[in-house]
Amino acid sequence: MPTIMQQTKQLLTIKEASRWASGFLKKDVSDSNISYLVQYGKIKKHNWNNSVFIDVNDLKNYYDSYRGQREVNWKKRLGNDLNWLLSFDHLREKDTTKHVHRLHPYKGKFIPQLVEYFIDSHTDDFKTSAYFKTGDIILDPFSGSGTTLVQAHEIGIHSIGIDVSRFNCMITEIKLLNYDMGALEEEIKRIKNAIINHEADSKTTVFERELLECLADFNNQYFPSPSFKYNVLQGHSNESKYVEEKEKEFLKIYNNLVKKYEIELNHSTGKTFLEKWFIRNVRKEIDFAFEQVKTIKDVKNKKIIAVILSRTIRSCRATTHSDLATLKEPQLTTYYCWKHKKICKPLFSIKTWFDRYASDTVYRLKTFARLKTSTHYSVIPADSRTVNIFKEVERRNKRFHEILQKQKIRGIFTSPPYVGQIDYHEQHAYAYDLFGFERRDEFEIGPLYKGQGAEARASYVDGISKVLLNCKKFLADNFDIFLVANDKYNLYPAIAEQSGMKIINQFKRPVLNRTERDKSPYSEIIFHLKG
């Protein structure tokens, strides 16, 4: 590389940049972290002799503006009482989605580090030995996808999770089960091969191959990466006007290919979720894969592979990448992707995704297996307002029930549903359709479909209060309860009063690392209650 170039730009290779950034930030920054910044146009790419280089000044400016201003800007918008330590801003995504926490997507879950912060007595920066210790029992009456139970199991605390959704309980259970990994891997290999060799529609394979070739040529010409992304982020390009024209231009190519290969896009009338949100070939492959899962004899293996299939079909819904978390309308044509800054397409097969998620699941289960302790757990599909926790645990685990009778439950760590924000059954409607599970939407507290009006808020206060009142019967004396809530309507003082408790402390934290296009800053509060 010419000396003059070094003098003007101080260019580094990807590996050199990762070492520089690690020293600058005083945390591990991998090569892939730097590649991500280049790929998504956060910093400019320089090419020389078929290698990629980065200007160290670009990198420094990015980290300076990102690190220094992020906390300042969030506090300006949300208040100086934000506890920035609880933002976990220093963590990478791979840390906040470690091991089994990413076995299946779930809206509304908190990151595992938040649980650790409050229940792990060995945490350096926040001593919680007065609250929970090894061998205690912790309860999560809104257990969702099981974050509290997984972290308790890793730390050495017994746990009980309750959720009204049967599918949520299934997600939690498969994270905690012990597997014969050799037998599981053989079963997964058999299912993967069956899916790969299954040809629901040979025309679709040829069609998608030609479509991908056309997409690659078109995107390389009109949306070259990462230069296009960099220009958009720097304000050098009118993204909306430009992409509207190019989106229409490629749509003509797509429609001609659909006609050429006689591709069926709609499955049928769209009466069920599976019929509405999946292209016909994908639906055929899903049905075939599920028939294969039904043949698995080992119950634990059947459950985990069913969840792999569920994770797969979620990713294969006919929607844009930006709207994957909150579905709007079926996307049956090519479209400009605001996430990837190029023309993207709907999915026409589950094969690649099932293979990817199966491998990822095995890796995550093995990683967690090395961290697991011998603690007990129980996952209970029930209504936390009325369930008899002791009886349900006795039915599932006699030894755990004996411990429970002796010491009772030390406390609660949970995130109740936020009033009027999520329909918890509906977010996994595809799984309920496929597996035939009974839906119990009417037992949800504060669902989206009930809104956020006065009546909905009153119902929410009543529901959460009844959960706490019921759970109190099974708690030890001097219990501690931590509730993670987005309390924009100030409902939790009333909830505490109705449940005969007091809020003795609260921690306001910013919620970062959201994946949806709507990234407006918001906070949540961890309420600490005692009787």
Comparing CA positions, the residue from 485, 445, 471, 431 lying closest to residue 174 is 431
Identify the helix (H) or strand (E) that includes residue 206: helix 202-222
From the list 30, 96, 62, the residue with the least C-alpha distance to 70 is: 62
Determine the 3-state secondary structure of 31 from DSSP.
helix
State the CB neighbour count (10 A cutoff) for residue 271: 8
Pairing of strands 475-485, 409-414: parallel
Q: How many angstroms separate the CA atoms of 246 and 216, rounded?
A: 14
Of the candidate CATH numbers 1.10.10.10, 2.60.120.10, 3.40.50.150, 3.40.50.720, the domain formed by 85-173+372-530 belongs to: 3.40.50.150
Judge contact between 478 and 518, C-beta under 8 A: no
Rounded to whole angstroms, the Cα distance separating 437 from 450 reads: 23
- Print pLDDT tens along the chain (531 aa): 444 344 456 899 999 999 999 898 887 888 888 888 888 788 888 988 888 899 999 998 888 876 667 777 888 888 888 888 888 887 888 889 999 999 999 988 899 999 999 998 655 444 444 589 999 999 999 999 999 999 999 999 999 999 999 999 999 999 999 999 999 999 999 999 999 889 877 889 899 999 999 999 999 999 998 888 888 877 776 788 899 999 999 999 999 999 999 998 875 566 788 888 899 899 999 999 999 999 999 999 999 999 999 999 999 999 988 887 777 888 999 999 988 899 999 999 999 999 999 999 999 999 999 999 999 999 999 999 999 999 999 999 999 999 999 999 999 999 999 999 999 999 999 999 999 999 999 999 999 999 999 999 999 999 999 999 999 999 999 999 999 999 999 999 999 999 999 999 999 999 875 544 445 678 899 999 998
C-alpha span between 434 and 439 (Å, rounded): 12
- Token look-up 């209970």 returns 380
- Our CA angle for 336, 338, 344, nearest 5°, is 40
Element (H, E) at 8: helix 3-9
Enter the tokens of residue 334: 């090519």
Provide the 3-class DSSP secondary structure of residue 525.
strand
**Angstrom distance (rounded) from CA 17 to CA 33:** 10
Nearest 10 degrees: Cα torsion 36, 40, 42, 45: 80
Joined together, the tokens standing for residue 505 give 């402390």
446 Rama class: left (phi>0) / alpha (psi -120 to 50) / beta: left
What DSSP letter does each residue of 127-176 carry, written as one string? --TTT--TT-EEEETT-TT-HHHHHHHHHT-EEEEEES-HHHHHHHHHHH
Sign, Cα dihedral of 336, 338, 339, 342: positive
What integer pLDDT is reported at residue 3 of this predicted model? 42
DSSP 340-356: TTEEE-----SHHHHHH
**Nearest in space to 278 (alpha carbons), one of 344, 326, 346, 337:** 346
Cα 133 to Cα 264: distance, rounded to the nearest angstrom: 58
**Contact assessment for residue 109 and residue 145, using Cβ atoms and an 8 Å cutoff:** yes
Which residues have C-beta within 8 Å of that of residue 430, sequence separation ≥ 6? 273, 274, 277, 310, 313, 314, 317
Cross-strand partners of 242:
none
In 3D space, the residue among 63, 61, 44, 48 whose CA is nearest the CA of residue 4 turns out to be 48
Domain range summary for the chain, segments of one domain joined by +? 3-76, 85-173+372-530, 181-365
The one-letter amino acid code at 27 reads K
Taking CB atoms within 8 Å and a gap of at least 24, the contacts of 91-94 are: 92/28, 92/33, 93/513
Q: In what order do the strands lie in the sheet with 158-163?
A: 377-381, 158-163, 137-140, 409-414, 475-485, 523-530, 502-510
Residue 446, burial from CB neighbour count under 10 angstroms (0-12, 13-18, 19+): buried
Bridge-based pairing state of the strands 409-414 and 342-344: unpaired
